Amino acid sequence: MNVVILAAGKGKRMRSDLPKVLHPLAGKPLLAHVVDCARSLGPSRIVIVYGHGGETVVRAIEGDDLRWALQEPQLGTGHAVMQALPHLDPAVPTLVLYGDVPLTTHETLARLVESAGADKLGLLTVELADPAGYGRIVREGGRIVRVVEHKDADAATRAIREVNTGIMVAPTAALARWLGALSTDNVQKEYYLTDVVATAVHDRVAVVSARPADASETLGVNSKRQLAELERIFQNRVATRLMDEGVRLADPARLDVRGELVCGRDVSIDVNCVFEGRVVIGDGASVGANCVIRDTRIGAGAQILPFTLIEDSSIGARARIGPYARLRPGTDLGEETHVGNFVEMKNTRMAAGSKANHLSYLGDTVVGERVNIGAGTITCNYDGANKHQTVIEDDAFIGSDTQLVAPVRVGRGATLGAGTTLTRDAPEHKLTMSRTQQTTVESWKRPVKKPAAKS
C-alpha cells in the first residue's frame, strides 16, 4: 500500500518558530513517530506532504524510503493529499496519516487496513464524551453515509458522539477521482478530505470503520499544553509495559524514556530518571533517583546511585556508580568497580575491582584491575592541542591529590604518594612521589585586619 502523511500545517497555537511536526515527543519529532509507525506496516512507499517549515522538515526526517510533496499554499487536507497523488501507486490502497498524531499504534492501523481491503473506504473513528471540534460520523441504518465538520454541523449532528479522526484508507484510483470532485463550498473555504466519504457513498463504494484500542491514539498536537499531555500518555504506556515485564518503578508517573529501555529481571528504578537513546539494564540492577542515562549498557546487579549522569558507556556487573558521578562517552567499567561522588570519566577503561571513590577526573585513561585511585586525582590528558593517554597497571595505588601528566604509565603494583605530580613513568612495585621539603617559617605572622578609620 501507499502511505501519505500530512505534515504541512503551521501550528500557530504552538507559538514557536519550530515547525509543529518537529516538536519532540519522548525525545524525537512528532513526525518521526508517525513515520516509524507507517514503516512498521511495510508499505511500498511513504509520501510526506510538507509546507510550513519547508526544507527544515525534510532535513529533520531521514530515510531513503521517503518521498516528499510540497503543499503551497495550504488549502485544506483534501488539497494536501492531491499533492501526493503523482507519487502514489494507483494499483494499491492509500493510507492517510497525520504528522501531528503520534500515538497511533501498528495494531490499530493494521486493523483499519484489513477492514478496508483493496476496494473499500476505511475510516478510523472514535466515540468521545465531548466531540466538540471534530467531524461527526453520520450513519443511516448503521452504514456511514457522510462526515460533517463541526463548523458545518447543525445541533442534531453535533449531538453525535462518534467522530472522524481523519485517518483513512482508500482505493487509490478511486481516491484520485474523489479528490478531483472536491469543492471549497464550506465555512473554511478549504478542500476537506472528509468530503470524499459522501462521494464514495454516491459511487456505491462501501464505507467501513475501525476503532483504536484507546482514544488517546487519535489525539493530535495543536499547543504546548497538548504536547505535554501526550508526553505523559506516551510515558505511561512505557511505564505500564516495563512494570508488566517485572520492572519495579518507584513512581510510574515520574519516568521519562526518550528512546528504548530494555530491562532484565528484578530491575528497580527510582523517581525522576531519564533514559535516552538505547539503554540496556541487566538483571537485578538498580537506578537511583534523578539519574540521566543515555546509550549505555548496565550489567547485572550494578547499582547506579542518585544524581548520576551516564552517556555512551558500559557498566560491568555489580559495579557501584555515584552518587553525583558523571560518565562521559567511551567509559567502560569492569565488574565490581566503584566510581564515587563527583568523579568524572571520559574515554576511560577501568578493569574489575578498581575504585575511584571521590572527587577525581580520569580522561583517556586505561586502568587495570584492583587499582585504588585516591581523592582529588586527575589525569592531565590535554596539552592544549592534543589528547594523550595515561595507563595505570594492575594493583597500583594512587595517592590523593595526584596529577598524572599524560602520556605516562604507572607500573604494576606501583604506589604514588599523595600530592605527586607524575611526569615520567612510575616503575612497578615502587613508591614514587614528588614533594617539596616541608618547612616551618618561625618568624611568620598572620596578617591582622586593620581597624576601620573613624570619620
- Which sequence positions are flagged as catalytic? 358
The rounded distance, in Å, linking the Cα atoms of 317 and 328 is 19
Please work out, in degrees rounded to the nearest 5, the angle formed at the alpha carbon of residue 244 by the alpha carbons of 278 and 318.
55
The rounded distance, in Å, linking the Cα atoms of 431 and 434 is 10
Reference 257, options 314, 42, 245; nearest CA is: 245
Residues constituting the chain: 455
| Residue indicated by cell numbers 453515509 | 145
Contact (Cβ atoms closer than 8 angstroms) between residue 123 and residue 209: yes
| Residue 420 identity | T
Q: Which residues of 35-55 are buried (b: 16+ CB within 10 A; e: fewer)?
A: bebbeeeebebbbbbbbbbee
